Amino acid sequence: MREDISFDAEGVTLRGWFYRPDGDANGGHPCVVMAHGFSAVKEQHLDDYAEVFAAAGLACVVYDNRGFGASDAAPGKPRQEIDPWEQVRDYQHAITYAQGRDDVDADRIGVWGSSYSGAHSYVVGAIDRRVKAVSGQVPLVSGRDAFASLVRIDQWGPTWEAFAADRLERARGGEPAMMPVVSDDPTAPAALPTPDSYEFFTRTQSDRAPSWRNEVTLRSIELFQGYEPGRFLPLISPTPLQMVVAPHDRLVAGEAAAAAYESAVHPKKLVIVPGGHFDAYTGPGFEVSSAAARDWFVEHLHVGKG
């Protein structure tokens, strides 16, 4: 069963869905907290994952990141701005919300994320010991490295100059600079300048997620550049960690994620999903990625043993 929910994140209302498994649970259900990646909204296939998890006996808190989809932005802050550390803290607020529900076992909470939120799931798992299991798929592990691969080297200087100009304009009371998330022109500026990014976001906007908007603030890219979630991987243990990697991922470099996995400490598991970054969400890739995460949470959140 799915219900609409909202909860407070220190003055910001976040909205989403709660999935309750069928049947009773002694002391409440184990629960997975879930949010989407860079600019994405919950309708872009998070419901598919939550349905798989709920069918296995896992409750799910699924929500839109602040300033995106159904969720509010912070007072005085623009919508469509992605601050990774705010999103990390919102995972923690969502955990608190889940723990406050009578139908959730507060001692059996897991976090799941994908792409940018896959990175967040690692950080949250490292800094918040309420988390008892982590699964992150097709993850970003280094914002600086991803910036270097996605922005042409001759555009680094002009991009940094644009960051500085945007800060000055905001300080004067002006509007934040914006840029598209994706573009069908591979030479045009875009936050995610790959053909598969364009295909995924435009397809899902048309088919499933009309609330998705093809823009983010320029500052989102500046904040992305300074985010290094891979450094938290060694700190997750003893919480069980699963990393799901697409070897042909050319948005966040699958080989970089696989290499970063080696820095994590057991208990951990690496799962390979066929294809590229967005293949994890549909078809055979979804079958692999959703089943792997489901089984990880069933095992480590002790479904049926509460």
Q: Where do the domains of the chain lie, and which CATH numbers do they carry?
A: 2-143+228-300 (3.40.50.1820)
pLDDT computed for residue 306 by the predictor: 61
Q: Is 6 left (phi over 0), alpha (psi -120 to 50) or beta?
A: beta
For residue 18, what is the DSSP state? E
C-alpha–C-alpha distance, residues 37 and 196, integer Å: 15
Pairing of strands 268-272, 131-137: unpaired
Q: In which residue ranges of the chain is pLDDT below 70?
A: 306
Pairing of strands 29-34, 104-114: parallel
Distance of CA 293 to the CA centre of its chain: 14
Sign of CA dihedral 223, 226, 230, 234: negative
**Residues 66, 35, 115: CA angle, nearest 5 degrees:** 110
* The residue type at 218: L
19 strand-pairing partners: 2, 60
Q: What burial class does residue 189 get, using C-beta atoms within 10 Å of its C-beta: 0-12 exposed, 13-18 middle, 19+ buried? A: middle
Pairing of strands 59-63, 104-114: unpaired
* The residue type at 119: A
Tokens (6 digits) for 215: 């823009």
pTM strictly above 0.95? yes
Identify the CA nearest to 43 among candidates 67, 71, 77, 16. 16
Contact 55, 21 (CB under 8 A): yes
Q: Is 138 left (phi over 0), alpha (psi -120 to 50) or beta?
A: left
Taking only the tens place, the pLDDT of each residue in 229-280 is: 999 999 999 999 999 999 999 999 999 999 999 999 999 999 999 999 999 9
C-alpha–C-alpha distance, residues 119 and 2, integer Å: 26
3-class secondary structure, 237 = coil
Phi, psi angles (nearest 5°) of residue 254: -60, -35
Q: From the CB of residue 27, how many other CB atoms can be counted at a distance below 10 Å?
A: 12
